[in-house]
């Protein structure tokens, strides 16, 4: 077999092996929340038994805010190939820039979330009520 053909075949096998490894590690495109049902599933995965009564879904599906019947507010945001959730506390800071909401959970490892919502003012009021 010609050396160039062997090199090509070896390169192709290496690429396929790397693709299979990435698939096995569940690497790939960032997850998206397509609708409220996806938000409910992700919320239950983040906080077992959490049942939202109000949902604010980011327009691009990168995260969501929700409130349950007890008044707890859960923030979901992308974290690698899944969503990470936090119940917001009185340490949370929030501000609105037009339709964009910036939410700082005061956790360095979680960081600040940026969500584009349909009614950011209502969510600002909801989050600020936690602080009182």
pLDDT, tens digit, 9 for 90 and up, residues 87-128 = 999 999 999 998 899 999 988 888 899 999 989 999 999 999
Global pTM?
0.77
Name the nearest CA neighbour of 123 among 55, 59, 62: 55
Radius of gyration, CA atoms only, the chain: 20
Strand pairing class (112-116; 100-104):
antiparallel
SS3 76: strand
DSSP-derived secondary structure for 81-123: TEEEEEE--TT-EEEEETTEEEEE-S-TTT-EEEEE-S-HHHH
| The pLDDT of residue 28 | 67
SS3 63: strand
State the Cα–Cα distance between residues 124 and 15, nearest whole angstrom. 48
**Tens-digit pLDDT profile for residues 27-54:** 767 788 999 999 999 999 999 999 999 9
CA angle 132, 99, 55 (to 5 degrees): 60
Is the Cα torsion angle 6, 8, 9, 11 positive or negative in sign? positive
Q: What are phi and psi of 113, to 5 degrees?
A: -100, 145
- Tokens 């396929």 label which residue? 16
Identify the band that residue 65 occupies on the pLDDT scale cut at 50, 70 and 90. very high
């Amino acid at each position: 077999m010609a050396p160039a053909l062997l090199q090509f075949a070896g390169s192709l096998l290496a690429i396929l092996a790397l693709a299979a490894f990435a698939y096995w590690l569940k690497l790939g495109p960032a997850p998206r929340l397509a609708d409220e049902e996806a938000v409910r599933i992700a919320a239950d995965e983040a906080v077992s038994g959490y049942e939202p009564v109000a949902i604010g879904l980011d327009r691009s599906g990168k995260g969501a805010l929700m409130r349950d019947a007890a008044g707890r507010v859960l923030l979901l945001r992308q974290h690698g190939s899944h969503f990470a959730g936090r119940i917001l506390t009185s340490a949370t800071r929030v501000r609105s820039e037009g339709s964009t909401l910036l939410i700082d959970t005061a956790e360095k490892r979680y960081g600040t979330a940026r969500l584009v919502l349909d009614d950011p003012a209502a969510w600002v009021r909801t989050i600020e009520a936690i602080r009182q």
